[in-house]
Amino acid sequence: MITDTHTHLYSEQFDEDRKAMIQRAKDAGVSRFFIPAIDSSYTNRMLTLEEENPEDVFLMMGLHPTSVKENYLEELAHIKEWIDKKSFYAIGEIGIDLYWDTTFLKQQLEAFRTQIKWAKSQKLPIVIHCRDAFDEIFEVLESEKGDDLRGIFHCFTGNLEQAKQAISYNMKLGIGGVATFKNGKIDKFLNEIDLKHIVLETDAPYLAPKPFRGKRNESAYITNVVDKLVDIYQVSYQKIAQITTQNSKDVFGV
């Protein structure tokens, strides 16, 4: 059994073949799909996905940092309304993204802190999006650290020191297609990180692993990530699947 801890199955890119795509993943051994939120425009799509796949799909709720704009307070109110009336498995994906735009850094920081506090109050893990923002993310986590803080550092792309710092805040490292890239770099040190700190993800439809790089990603391709971890850790495919799925259960409680 393999768990994809981060896949946008509701994406418009899957509208033509979503059912077949999910079946391909199941045929490849993927039996659990954790679904991150982006903003209010995708809520209905997420709920429909859960309704159609009640045994396999596990929803998160949160405001993606690139969706933090002038209306971010309205978006946060939407998040709060939903987490108060429905059960979710995490608050995510949340965080800071300074790659595309730095205009709303202050608001991103506020949204990140606010959603961390909501996660704590709901006893939920967080799923962090970080792009060009390790220092800013770590500053917030340092102020929020404690037994009630846990989660996943989604699509981890940092160095060994940053990996160890993320783990110190009770975060697992989300490892996906980047681990298979020639310039991904994390494959150079990942074997220095105990497997107990690793979970698998695809971020589908984004960041497809080799040999599909540049094409639409899908959850079935997580097997290519497992193959890469087999090579990095020199353990069996089954052990990678078993340990990472158990790690996901430890995070999400299911």
Q: pLDDT, tens digit, for every residue of 17-65?
A: 999 999 999 999 999 999 999 999 999 999 999 999 999 999 999 999 9
Question: For residue 17, what pLDDT is reported?
Answer: 97
CA distances from 60 to 10, 88, 126, 169, 172 (A): 12, 5, 9, 20, 16
125 CB contacts (<8 Å, ≥6 apart)? 89, 90, 91, 92, 119, 150, 151, 152, 251, 252
CA angle 44, 87, 126 (to 5 degrees): 90
Work out the end-to-end distance of the chain between its first and last CA atoms, rounded to an integer number of angstroms. 14
DSSP-assigned states of every residue in 15-71: TTTHHHHHHHHHHTTEEEEEE----GGGHHHHHHHHHH-TTTEEE-B---GGG-STT
Question: For residue 52, what pLDDT is reported?
Answer: 96
Burial class (CB in 10 A: 0-12, 13-18, 19+), 131: middle
Q: What ranges do the domains of the chain cover?
A: 2-252
Reply yes or no: is the peptide bond before residue 36 cis, omega within 30 of 0.
no
CA dihedral 172, 161, 132, 66 (to 10 degrees): 10
Burial class (CB in 10 A: 0-12, 13-18, 19+), 122: middle
| Sign of the torsion angle spanned by Cα atoms 154, 157, 163, 166 | negative
Q: What is the per-residue pLDDT across 170-182, written as a single tens digit (0 to 9) for each? A: 999 999 999 999 8
CA distances from 118 to 19, 60, 75, 153, 174 (A): 33, 13, 14, 18, 22
CATH superfamily of 2-252: Metal-dependent hydrolases (3.20.20.140)
Residue in 65, 87, 86 with CA at minimum distance from that of residue 76? 65
Burial class (CB in 10 A: 0-12, 13-18, 19+), 188: exposed
| Token pair in block for residue 252 | 């999400």
Residues (pLDDT < 70) of the chain are none
| Token pair in block for residue 122 | 């709901």
Question: For residue 183, what pLDDT is reported?
Answer: 86
Question: For residue 100, what pLDDT is reported?
Answer: 87
The rounded distance, in Å, linking the Cα atoms of 220 and 162 is: 29
Query: Could you tell me where the DSSP H helices lie in the chain?
Result: 18-27, 43-52, 72-85, 105-122, 134-144, 160-168, 222-233, 237-252
